[in-house]
Structures are given as C-alpha cells and as structure tokens.
Amino acid sequence: MILRLIIILLLIPGFIKANESINVAYASSLHQAMKTIIYGFQKETNISVKYASGSSGLLAKQITLGAPFDIFISANDNWINFLNKKMKSNKIFWVSNGLLLIHKKESVDLNRFLMNQNEKFCIADPKQSPLGMHSQEVLNHYRINIPKNNLIVVKDSATLKSYTLIGECDFSISYSSDLSNYAEKFNYEFIDNKTFTQIQYFITNLSNSELSNKFINYLLEKNNTRVLENHGFIIRE
C-alpha cells in the first residue's frame, strides 16, 4: 500500500522528492533578502536550497574552477559575461541598487571632500566586487585620491558593512539597500547615480535543470521582488 502511494505521488506532475536540492551562489549584498526568499521557497516546495554568498568576482572564479552551483546571481553582468566565455547560459535582469556615502560628520560634500590625516575611508575591492568597482567610479568622478595609509579595502559588501558598523571606517561607500543597517548610527548621503554606472543584478541558470528553472521563476514573482524592494533595492518594471 505504501509503495503504491509513493509510485502515485511520483507520477503527479510537479511532485518533487523532499531530498532534492539546488545550489545557489549570489552577491553578498543580497544576503538578507535572499534568506527570506529562500525560506519561503523551501517552505512552499519542500526543495532544499544550499547557498553561498560573496563577492561576484570570487564566486564567478569558483564556478570556473568547478564549484557545483546551479544558479549564479551577480551584482553586475561583467562576471556573468566572464562565465559565458567558458559556458553558455542566459542572463536575466532582476533588480537595481544605488550607493550611499556613510560617515560620522554632520554633512559631507563630495565636490569639496576633505579628510583628516588619521581618518579611514573604506571601500570594497574594485577587482573582485561590483560595489568596489562602482565606489572607484565615484572617487574618480569627484577626483578624490585617498592616500594608501587612509584607505581600507575589503573583499565585498558584507565585509564593508561589518567594518563600518564596528567603527573601523570614518567614511565608506555602501549599497543603498543597506541603509537600514546604518540609519540610526551614522549620517549618510545618497550618491548621485550619474557618477557611476547603473547597478544591476543578473541571474544566470548554470545547470538549466527543472529545479533551477523552478527557483528562478520563484525569484521573478512579484511577491519576491517586493521583498527586495522592502530591503531597499530598486524594482524597475
């Protein structure tokens, strides 16, 4: 009787065994929102989602070395294009973001930026992290040259947030989606979006499996884009 029930369930369209799983890699700036989305997906489908977050560049390089990810979500399409030179996969635009200057002063004008000799300016690594790349664009636009002794370069947006919150940074450039982490402790300015290239997150399906397609469709549902909007991301219809 039990065996017959199992066979019947397996024949039902859309039935997924509870022990099936997918592996997802995503930019660290998405982590808080992705935890909520992944929890909802697992609860709704009974499919396990194993995930890793980090700088988009580091994750892309891990994928080229054989890391078994089914889906990759990058904070720009440069790293997806990098992967596409080695493997063919489609990219789907998902969501946008902005930038903040976080600081401890009453106000800061980037057009007349000055810092003291003992102050520290933190940015994510421009070579590995899209946040770092955009931060460098901002500094270049305003012709701000931070002396090496005053500059702290960290690996990704999550590390930058940690450094800022524990007080290691007098200034830092962060994603606007992280504003809720800073608003009560620091002062901040939104950075003019004309001073850096548009921040866009892209999804790519590396395995093109039934499960990965199911998860991507779930990510694109309006309820889940609202989760992103609630975390400060910009939804473009």
Query: Which has more confidence, 85 or 131?
Result: 131
Banded model confidence at residue 237, pLDDT cuts 50, 70, 90 = low
Residues 166/170/175/176 CA torsion (nearest 10 deg): 100
**Helix runs in the chain, H state only:** 2-11, 31-45, 56-64, 78-84, 130-141, 157-165, 179-182, 210-219, 222-230
- For 44-86, write each residue's pLDDT tens digit: 999 999 999 998 989 999 998 999 999 999 998 888 888 877 6
Neighbours of 51 (CB within 10 A): 16
Q: d(Cα 207, Cα 72) in Å, to the nearest integer?
A: 10
Mean pLDDT, the chain, rounded, equals 88
Model confidence at 2: pLDDT above 60:
no
DSSP percent split of the chain into helix, strand, coil, nearest 5: 40, 25, 35
- For 84-101, write each residue's pLDDT tens digit: 776 767 889 999 999 999
Banded model confidence at residue 235, pLDDT cuts 50, 70, 90 = confident
Average pLDDT in the 137-153 region?
96
Strand, coil or helix: 220: coil
Strand, coil or helix: 199: strand
